[in-house]
Amino acid sequence: MPIFAYVVHSNPVAGREDEYNDWYSNRHLADVVAVPGFVSAQRFRLTDGEEEGRPSQKYMAIYTMETDAPEKTLEHLTSLVETGAMHMSEAFSMEGMATHLYEAITPVVAAPAKDN
pLDDT value, residue 87: 97
pLDDT at 3 (0 to 100) = 98
Residue 30 maps to a domain: yes
Q: Return mean pLDDT, the chain.
A: 96
> Does the pLDDT at position 116 exceed 80?
no
Contact 4, 74 (CB under 8 A): no
Cα(76)–Cα(84) distance, integer angstroms: 12
3-state secondary structure the chain: CCEEEEEEEEEECCCCHHHHHHHHHHHHHHHHHCCCCEEEEEEEECCCCCCCCCCCCCEEEEEEEECCCHHHHHHHHHHHHHCCCCCCCCCEEEEEEEEEEEECCCCCCCCCCCCC
88 located within any domain: yes
Q: What is the domain-level CATH number for residue 30?
A: 3.30.70.100
Q: Is residue 7 part of a domain?
A: yes
Residue 116 lies in a domain: no
**Count of domains in the chain?**
1
Q: Which domain holds residue 81?
A: 3-46+56-103
**Residue-wise pLDDT tens digits, 86-96:** 999 999 999 99
Cα–Cα distance measured from residue 97 to residue 81, given in angstroms and rounded to the nearest whole number: 15
pLDDT tens digits, residue range 20-75? 999 999 999 999 999 999 999 999 999 987 778 888 999 999 999 999 999 999 99
Please report the pLDDT score of residue 54 as a whole number: 85
CB of 8 closer than 8 Å to CB of 60:
yes
Distance CA 86, CA 112 (A): 39
**What is the reported pLDDT for 17?**
98
Q: What is the pLDDT of residue 53?
A: 82
**pLDDT of 29:** 98
